[in-house]
Amino acid sequence: MNVTFQDVSVRYADKTVFTHFTHTFSFSGVTALMGASGVGKTTFLRVLCGLEKPESGSVTGFPARFTYLFQEDRLLPWLDALQNVAVVCDEASARRALEEVGLGEELHTKPAELSGGMRRRVALARAFAHDSDFLLLDEPFQGLDDSLRAALLPLLQKEALRRPVLFVTHDRREAQSLDASVLELHGSPAVL
């Protein structure tokens, strides 16, 4: 899947993230987006999928049906884990997704009663259960310990069989273990 950034500029009040950024990306399988904190990785994802409009320039070729795992979990606090996932799919798929991330015992627990890591896994399960043509994950494993990361990495590979996956990470080992293509952003304004 080819996505083109054409002369894209993004500027905030105190920072220029991209200036006349032009590049065509070819996404397939798993792609890891890396770079120092604050370099513009989240902005890149948001501009890529159209959640944020660039000040100038355009992005073309990105599908309309996509899934985005935000840096924040963004769970509905009044719904339990199963209901949170089932808002984006049928209940059987929601149950399966939660079992895959190891939360089969917490189906009826509300977010406030779950640990930070468990909430992250509910958000991951919701992203995995959502049917779309592209999966974007902004630091999917933040707050998870190494053993959980290791257990969840194969799920990303599984997702990559049905749609391109682009995920933000600070851990090069994660990218290597997934045999992912790596995109690395540097500097300010950011360049590849």
Partner 1 sequence: MCVWLAVWQILSLCIGQEVLFASPRATFSRLFSLLGTGDFWLKALHSLLGIMEGYLLGVCGGILLAVLTACSKWLLAVFKPMLTVIKTTPVVSFIILALVWLQKESVPVFISFLMVLPIVWANLTTGIAETNPQLLEMARVYRLSKRKILRYIYFPSVLPALLTSLTTAIGFAWKAGIAAEVISTPRESIGAQLYNAKVYLETADLFAWTLVVILLSMLFERLIVFLVGKISALAAKEGV
52 vs 184, which CB is nearer to partner 1?
Answer: 52
* Alpha carbon distance 173, 50 (integer Å): 29
166 is a contact residue toward partner 1 (CB under 8 A): no
Check: CB of residue 17 under 8 Å from CB of residue 185.
no
| Choices 33-41, 83-91, 95-103, 182-190; region in contact with partner 1 by CB under 8 A | 83-91
70 vs 188, which CB is nearer to partner 1?
Answer: 70
| Choices 8-16, 65-73, 160-168, 173-181; region in contact with partner 1 by CB under 8 A | 65-73
Binding residue for partner 1, selected from 36, 51, 151, 191, defined by CB under 8 A: 51
* C-alpha distances out from residue 160 to 22, 76, 134, Å: 26, 27, 9
Binding residue for partner 1, selected from 36, 79, 155, 191, defined by CB under 8 A: 79
Least Å distance between CB 103 and partner 1?
Answer: 17
12 vs 78, which CB is nearer to partner 1?
Answer: 78
The two tokens of residue 45 are 């994802």
DSSP-derived secondary structure for 53-119 = --SEEEEES--SS-EEE-SS----TTS-HHHHHHTSS-HHHHHHHHHHTT-TT-TT--GGGS-HHHH
Residue located via tokens 């995109």: 183
Q: What are the percentages of helix, strand and coil residues in the chain, rounded to 5?
A: 35, 25, 40
* C-alpha distances out from residue 177 to 67, 103, 169, Å: 23, 24, 13
70 is a contact residue toward partner 1 (CB under 8 A): yes
Least Å distance between CB 20 and partner 1?
Answer: 27
- Total residues contacting partner 1 by CB under 8 A comes to 19
Binding site for partner 1 (CB under 8 A): 49, 51, 65-68, 70, 72, 74, 76, 78-80, 83, 87-88, 110, 126, 130
